[in-house]
Amino acid sequence: MNEKDTFYITSPIFYPSAALHVGHAYTMTLSDVMARSQKALGKQVYFLTGADENASKVAKAAKVVEMSVPDFLEMITSKFKHLYAELNISYDQFIRTTDEQIHWPGAELMWERLNAAGDIYPAKYSGLYCPQCEAFYTDKELVDGKCPLHLIVPEHLEEDNFFFRLSKYTQTLKDKIESGEFQILPETRKNEILALLERGLEDVSFSRPIKMVPHGIPVPGHKDQVMYVWCDALTSYLTAVGFGRDEALASKWWPANAHVIGKDILRFHAAIWPAMLLSAGLPLPRRIVTHGFVLSGGHKMSKSIGNVIDPEELIKEFGADTLRYYLLRKIPTFEDGVISKELLKDAYNGDLANGLGNLVSRIMKLVETYEIRTDFLEPRELWTKPGNPVKLALDDFDTRLAIEHIWTKITTLDREIQDSKPWELLKSEDAHLKQKGFDTMVRLYKDLWWVAVMLEPFMPETSKNIVATIKAHRSDRSLFPRKD
């Protein structure tokens, strides 16, 4: 475990070739919950996100809309940031891999370190290449001769590359994963990587001819080659916190506590990246947290399949917290799950309008009518209380189990208020019964405060609203007006 009081968490840096869809919003929401909850627990948190800009698909997308690459990047990255503002993503830095001041010195330093370790060598590469994935595929990996993600036939490519000696690190990686020094969550993904290591890692292509990808970071000493996207992109986790320009800062935050990723980029994060770090003599991240896919119409959302759902549209109609709620509670953190507008609406009406919204207004009405007052524990105390089930679930990065615990409390409160009918007790002439009514209400009120505090990382606006309602002692506002 990391004994430091800092917590460095990263999301992937997305390709700015198109606006983000609900699948990306999912990754960001999970990362945000982890960042916010660590803050609630008293850690100093740094949350990195950004854009993976030196990719040929970005240049292609710019060409389609007849924009220059820099203008196109500016437009798409501001869309990313707009979505994050709408979705209340509490990131600290948005790194852009075209940033020659922040990113390039560290990326070059990384290359030089790997080279100095004798782990980079020139070779010819030939294979089947999916331009959408920016990755080579073997015959076996194709489905009906097509890229399994984009359902397009890959191109045959042969080129001069530099290679990284990934194979050299197979055993060390295996040891570090087995000892738990380098964690991969969940267990099924860890086993997948261990099986891959069992078969042995092969060296990987690490650069591409500049004529293929004109926008990359030049390989030090070889101007005709640019760094392959993974060496460039993965290193952003380090350059963002100072590697190559501010070593004191880098050692404050590195190693990262968690890289949050989708399962499709696991191999890069759990094999190539740690091998690069070992080669460069740097500590490994503590863990890789791997989530599943958000499916739409039975498929992973993808622009080329045409099944993307625009998160901003959903936010406009249902609010950011409804989308966050849906993604966090209805999609199992470590498996695939489905989303549609209909499902989202059902969740809104059922769990939020009728569920949480109703509960808050019922409790607050009684609190107001009967002048119920009590003291509340500070949020930090509630969060760090031994046995807090929300914290325990989050220790395992199981965001769905964590929010499930909050909903268990909400359901219990609902039932309790129904069964004990405190309004009848409070109206009673019998002092004993009246007292019982007060005691019940104080308990319900304290539990509602707990719900409001625990909800913060998951549904920050809702949490803020309930806290404000409690503080203002108001019940005249419906948190989630019904939608028909």
Q: Shortest approach of ligand MSP to residue 13 CB, angstroms?
A: 5
Nearest CB to ligand MSP, comparing residues 262 and 285: 262
Q: Shortest approach of ligand MSP to residue 229 CB, angstroms?
A: 7
Catalytic residue among 147, 259, 291, 405: 147
Q: What is the dihedral of CA 288, 292, 294, 295, to 10 degrees?
A: 150
Q: Is 24 a catalytic residue?
A: yes
Q: Shortest approach of ligand MSP to residue 52 CB, angstroms?
A: 3
Q: Shortest approach of ligand MSP to residue 27 CB, angstroms?
A: 5
Nearest CB to ligand MSP, comparing residues 242 and 422: 242
Catalytic residue among 150, 222, 345, 434: 150
Catalytic residue among 222, 303, 434, 464: 303
Q: Shortest approach of ligand MSP to residue 476 CB, angstroms?
A: 39
Nearest CB to ligand MSP, comparing residues 14 and 91: 14
Nearest CB to ligand MSP, comparing residues 234 and 277: 234
8 Å CB contact between 36 and 460: yes
Tell me the two tokens of residue 306: 């045409």
- Distance from C-alpha of 149 to C-alpha of 337, rounded to nearest angstrom: 17
288-289-293 Cα angle (round to 5): 130
Is the peptide bond preceding residue 186 cis, with omega within 30 degrees of 0?
Answer: yes
Q: Shortest approach of ligand MSP to residue 17 CB, angstroms?
A: 8
Residues 6+ apart with CB under 8 A from 3: none
Nearest CB to ligand MSP, comparing residues 279 and 290: 290
Nearest CB to ligand MSP, comparing residues 10 and 469: 10
Q: Shortest approach of ligand MSP to residue 333 CB, angstroms?
A: 11
Closest CA to 300 of 84, 26, 11, 13: 26
Q: How many CA atoms lie within 13 A of 112 on its CB side?
A: 9
Nearest CB to ligand MSP, comparing residues 50 and 460: 50
Catalytic residue among 21, 190, 259, 291: 21
Q: What residues form DSSP beta bridges with 392? A: none
Sites of contact with ligand MSP (CB under 6 A): 12-15, 23-24, 26-27, 52, 233-234, 261-262, 264-265, 293-294, 300-301
Nearest CB to ligand MSP, comparing residues 229 and 363: 229
Q: Shortest approach of ligand MSP to residue 252 CB, angstroms?
A: 21
Q: Is 147 a catalytic residue?
A: yes
Q: Which residue is nearest to ligand MSP (CB)?
A: 262
Q: Is 150 a catalytic residue?
A: yes
Catalytic residue among 43, 79, 81, 133: 133
Catalytic residue among 103, 259, 300, 391: 300
Nearest CB to ligand MSP, comparing residues 261 and 276: 261
Burial zone of 424 (CB within 10 Å; 0-12 exposed, 13-18 middle, 19+ buried): exposed
Q: Is 303 a catalytic residue?
A: yes
8 Å CB contact between 273 and 47: no
Q: Shortest approach of ligand MSP to residue 82 CB, angstroms?
A: 17
Active site residues: 21, 24, 130, 133, 147, 150, 300, 303
